[in-house]
Structure 1
């Protein structure tokens, strides 16, 4: 893929990483469709960047996902890239669990993208060149204990992505994983622990273009967690990630 002149659907595209990727890919010469729970946020993105389209989607609702998939293909028949980015993060105390939080996080972060992928796969198969991009998290590889369900869903998405890539290995559909580090969405400068959303999006698109066969896009700030187990220092990194929480501080 050349990552230009594609028709790209990005879930969770009304803010944060989704908006950053949408803008970067739009500027690269693609037709981008952003989807998400908040129509007003999507419309604001489309107003700021003429040419970006938007459609509302609550991917925690299985019925809505099916209807949305039919609508997006009807409106954008050249759709050839799906970016599963939408997700929610909730802190939890597992000694006083909240089943509603578990249900909301799992349905949004895991069931939603799996169902959307399943519903869109027939349309993607019809395109001569297509891709499915799953935005997971570096916390899929070194979890943060205060975000147990969030981290579990991201680890599950990593596993699903591996299986999807293997099963589609003989098709024309590329399957790519992006595990972001901490991404600052408020304009904060980059530091050793994270990166600003605009810099993150630019780096991701640059790597997609320069490494067209890459199966995973890992920016520098994500490498500490993503490859902790491979380097053999998982326990040290896990302790670092969870140190402040064990001290009772933010």
Structure 2
């Protein structure tokens, strides 16, 4: 991915990985626009980072997505990078009756939203040099966390979609990237103080190095073991991982 001179739209850009990535790319000479649901948070990041713009967006709302996509094309005609980062993660108890509202919101936000926004911008991006569509998935796309089964499933589905889209766009100008973080210290699952999670600034610094390398799949070292879990030992690995994490989240 080219690191300077881009016009970049980042969803979920007001906190956590999205905000840190937005600020890092802004500092490297890109025009950055962040999207998010809460106006106060958008105003705060704009005030703290002169030059960053913000647009209110709910990726789970198809009307909001269409309106924002149209506005981006008109107001930022040089837009060439879309980073689909917005996501929600909650304990969902797949061994019990699922909360339908939680399940629907997770699928709409984490899976349908990125697909819908990319669809609305894809024809525009095909016309731009150095165009990139990036998605923030998770190492849980490869090794599900049982207590967040719906979240993990949305990330696995998004990974599958990325593989298909990358194949279909391989003869175009558009590169399709997947950023698959390990556990990072953010507000997701109240992980800001979690000792086992990766510090956010370290994650961003390592991610930028991988992005600069030209890789399609952006993995930091801490996530590689999870990504490498394939083959006949998959179930044993997943069960061992979840036995460890059950003690962390449930006790």
CA deviations over 1:103-130 (Å, ceiling 9, x no partner): 1001111111000000001110111220
Note closer, same or farther for the CA distance 1:189–1:221 as it changes in structure 2 (3 Å cut).
farther
Aligned twin of 2:241: 241
Distance in 1 (CA, whole Å) between partners of 2:16 and 2:131 is: 24
Contact kept? 1:178, 1:217, Cα under 8 Å:
yes
Long gaps (5+) in structure 2: none
The offset of 1:158, in angstroms, is 0.2
Alignment coverage as a number of residue pairs: 246
Corresponding residue for residue 52 of structure 1: 52
The reply to whether residue 146 of structure 1 matches residue 147 of structure 2 is yes
Runs of 4+ in 1 over 4 A off after TM superposition: 186-191, 244-248
- 1:79-120 C-alpha deviation (Å, 9 max, x unpaired): 000000000012112312111111100111111100000000
CA separation in 2, counterparts of 1:5 and 1:46? 19
- TM-score, normalised with respect to structure 2: 0.92
Residue 240 of structure 1, CA deviation: 3.5
| Structure 1 residues 159 and 2: CA distance shift in structure 2, 3 A | same
Decide whether the 8 Å contact of 2:6 with 2:31 is kept in 1.
yes
1:235: Cα distance to partner?
3.6
Displacement of 1:245 = 5.7
| 1:51-200 correspondence runs (5 A) | 51-94=51-94, 95-185=96-186, 193-200=196-203
SS of the residue corresponding to residue 202 of structure 1 reads: helix
1:211-242 deviation digits (Å, cap 9, x = unpaired) = 12x11110011112111226x65344323331
Give the unaligned 5+ runs of structure 1: none
The RMSD of aligned alpha carbons is: 2.0
- Do 1:190 and 1:196's aligned partners in 2 also have CA atoms closer than 8 Å? no
